[in-house]
Chain A
Amino acid sequence: MHALLGENGAGKTTLMNVVYGLTHADEGEIRFDGRPVQVGGPLDAIRLGIGMVHQHFMLIPPLTVAENVVLGHETAERGVMDLQRARRDVSELAARYGLEVDPGARVADLSVGIQQRVEILKALYRGARLLVLDEPTAVLTPPEAERLFEVVHQLTGSGSAVIFITHKLAEVMAVADRITVMRRGNVVATTSPAESSPPELARLMVGRPVLLRVEKGAAHPGEPVLEVEQLTVEDDRHQAAVDGVSLEVRAGEIVGVAGVEGNGQDHLIEAILGLRHAREGRILLGARDITHDGTRRVLMAGVGHIPADRHSMGVIADLTVADNLVLSDYDRPPFARGIVRQLAAVLEHAKRVIRAFDIRAESPEQPLASLSGGNQQKVVVARELDSDPRLLVASQPTRGVDVGSIEFIHQQLVRRRDAGMAVLLVSSELDEILSLSDRVAVMYRGRVVAVLEGDQIDSDRIGLLMAGAAA
């Protein structure tokens, strides 16, 4: 069992996508059984004996297990499927590898752990000798993960090879035979649990922080602006994505939330902003309980939001820069009188903001889509900061942004902090967190596993915590 270890964005999935034929390599070669091979698509990979279980399952929910497993490789008598035979074959295969599953069950009714087994069965049914599992435990509960390891053990025991993509140190140490660590698209090391240790691996994964430090004086935090108490938020599958999180952000400080994406940060932010329902717990803005407030109320109460994905949530590409800058305030004076928009005021505002934030745009009336990524993000940042919120919730604020703009945005954030704004910063870029935060909360599996300040803020330590190892 070969573990492929690395942070988000290290290139692990991309590498395996090339092996499976979903993406194409620009250079280099792949050798299977000692011979160089061309993998043009998944069908080629399947023919070679490579199977892949993706993070997002390729299962068809309303169909049964047996139907899903045999799809595309059905045994049929003149077009009529032999469902009995399919079910039997699936049962036999399942028994052989210890993957208990009911072939007649509808996939939609199964738990995620069992669904994953079906995916594995799919690959085995097609004769996979090499099985690639992409972040398989990301969606499993601990007992389900245990079962998975047993299955992997069975598979390797019967001669199959398994590549296990993960960012979780603990698992790797417990289960892998060999480990390859990747970072920023390169292989950094190949080792084994015996020859290495968690701190060593963490350091290899995270590397030395790039010195993208911003000039930052000490913080002078005031009263708490945001208080999150025992918050529990469910995801679309009704599992707790945020599990009893308590957090506090005071005026004049930047609290960074470190963590690999998908550990609950997005759901936390959505709950704070009223975009998602909180099942338990409270969210307080100053003295006000905003737990169940709608987005509009929250924004009007003085909260700014830089969304993680500006394309889906932050901007409207086809609207002008000027219109984008008033997306939240378009219906209030001075931008509107009653229902009539005051376009001159919108334009003036845009010109002012463009100057103040050094946004590279020819005219405020050009479509936002014509701006570079970095400048588009600046528009989002400018819009949110310009309304002078008490609390700014910034998620991946510099993703897809050029270095110059990154610096600018960081400086803006620090300047506002000094002026008394409270900032909740979520980022999977550890460098950004380290460089900006006064305090760092690390999220793992929906919980805040540690809140560090001052000297405690250390990249190795945070890296370990992010990867699920104990502090």
Chain B
Amino acid sequence: MAWLQSVDLVSLASATLIAATPLVLAALGGVMSERSGVVNIALEGIMLTSAFVGFAIAYVAHNLALGMLASILSGMLIAALHAVLSIEFLVDQIVSGMVINILAVGITGVFYQSLLQQGVKGPGTLPIWKIPVLGSIPVIGPIFFQNGMVTYLMLVLVIVVHLVLFNTVWGLRTRACGEHPLAAETAGVNVKIVRYVNVVASGALGGLGGAYFSIQQVGQFLPNMTGGRGFIALAAMIFGKWTPLGAFGASLLFAGSDALGARLQYLGVRVPIQFLGMLPYVLTIVVVAGAMGRAIAPAAVGRPYRKS
């Protein structure tokens, strides 16, 4: 396995972490939403639209930070739409999510065509920040502490979401709503509000994920630049058994296999890259079919809750 030595592991790890950023963020969003009982497959559409909005604002205002903020806000708005459709109007949550995905492709396509000419240059991309001291540690430094803002936020958010979900009042109530909304209601929790807030929060996370594409990595918006990563993020959420840390690990696994595949191909190793690319999807099917322990979603997720 001589080729293994030629693969620069540090650069591989670093690339993995970066590539995992949107996956983790969208997966975290999925976790929050589903834990409260609402299926959110609109994350792909949310990321795409937020990538567009973020870039558009950054371009107009010549300010990347504002662009990031705009991404987050747009994510929240779109998620609110999903919430209203599925919680208030009892539209099937999957249908509502798909509508948003279709709409996202449509709206970004139309606006991109008409408002932004191809190749318009925005105010560049986010700078790589090297954290003093920590960034100089060999191996760990380059991987963790020399990154763009979105990636840093992602690392922080994994911990934050974990703490929120398992150590706060809010997290407890959220989990209750996702498992047994009737019991939560009788205990005095307002299930509707909890679900609304969680879905909007998932939109914020997805929106930040969108910022990764246009603001941190590429520096402009390209049609369909999210490339289905919103769905891989869902897979990561399921693979991670609906926990933030699990989602983080699963995202790393998926992004890593992708990065590894690219490097192997570059080295001329005869592994069909497509099969490596399929890995996340195959793994997800395996997980959902319960071959690795029951993939039990929060018990009440997907079902609209009606107050009696």
Interface residues of A (CB under 8 A from B): 42-43, 46, 57-63, 67, 71-74, 76, 79-81, 83, 122
Contact = CB atoms under 8 A, between A and B. Distances in A.
B137 interface: no
Given A58-B186, A60-B184, A72-B187, A81 B179 contact: no
A133 to B, nearest CB: 16
B175 A63 contact: yes
B186 A67 contact: no
Contacts of B179: 60-63
Given A42-B186, A73-B188, A83-B167, A58 B172 contact: no
B142 to A, nearest CB: 34
7 contacts: A42-B186, A58-B182, A59-B180, A61-B299, A72-B184, A72-B189, A79-B168
Contacts of B188: 42-43, 46, 71-73
Interface in B169-190: 169-170, 172-173, 175-176, 179-180, 182-184, 186-189
- Measured as residues with beta carbon below 8 angstroms from the partner, the interface class of chain B is 10 to 19
Contacts of A58: 180, 182-183, 186-187
Interface in B129-179: 167-170, 172-173, 175-176, 179
A60 B169 contact: no
B186 A63 contact: no
Contacts of B184: 60, 71-72
Contacts of A60: 175-176, 179-180, 183-184
A71 B168 contact: no
A78 to B, nearest CB: 9
A76 B167 CA distance: 10
Chain A CB within 10 Å, residue with most, of B167, B170, B173, B186: B186
A321 to B, nearest CB: 30
A471 B168 CA distance: 56
B279 to A, nearest CB: 29
Contacts of B176: 60, 63, 71
A62 B187 contact: no
Contacts of A61: 179-180, 299
A76 B168 contact: yes
A84 to B, nearest CB: 11
The 7 closest A-B pairs by CB, nearest first: A72-B188, A72-B187, A58-B183, A71-B187, A76-B169, A74-B169, A60-B179
B contact patch SS: helix
A83 B169 CA distance: 10
Nearest to B175: A63
B169 A59 contact: no
A81 B180 contact: no
Nearest to B181: A60
Contacts of B175: 60, 62-63
B172 A63 contact: yes
Contacts of B168: 76, 79-81
A106 to B, nearest CB: 12
Nearest to A58: B183
A107 to B, nearest CB: 10
Contacts of A72: 173, 184, 187-189
Given A46-B188, A72-B188, A81 B169 contact: yes
Contacts of B167: 80-81, 83
A79 B172 CA distance: 11
Contacts of A59: 180, 183
A79 B189 CA distance: 15
Nearest to A61: B179
B186 A74 contact: no
Contacts of B189: 71-72
Interface string B64-107: 00000000000000000000000000000000000000000000
A80 to B, nearest CB: 5
A49 to B, nearest CB: 15
A309 to B, nearest CB: 20
B44 to A, nearest CB: 28
Contacts of B299: 61
B224 to A, nearest CB: 38
B109 to A, nearest CB: 40
Nearest to B183: A58
Contacts of A79: 168-170
Contacts of A46: 188
A127 B110 CA distance: 60
B298 to A, nearest CB: 8
A293 B254 CA distance: 45
Contacts of A76: 168-169
A59 B187 CA distance: 10
A42 B173 CA distance: 17
Interface in B228-254: none
A53 to B, nearest CB: 11
A63 B186 CA distance: 16
A72 B182 CA distance: 13
Contacts of A43: 188
B171 to A, nearest CB: 8
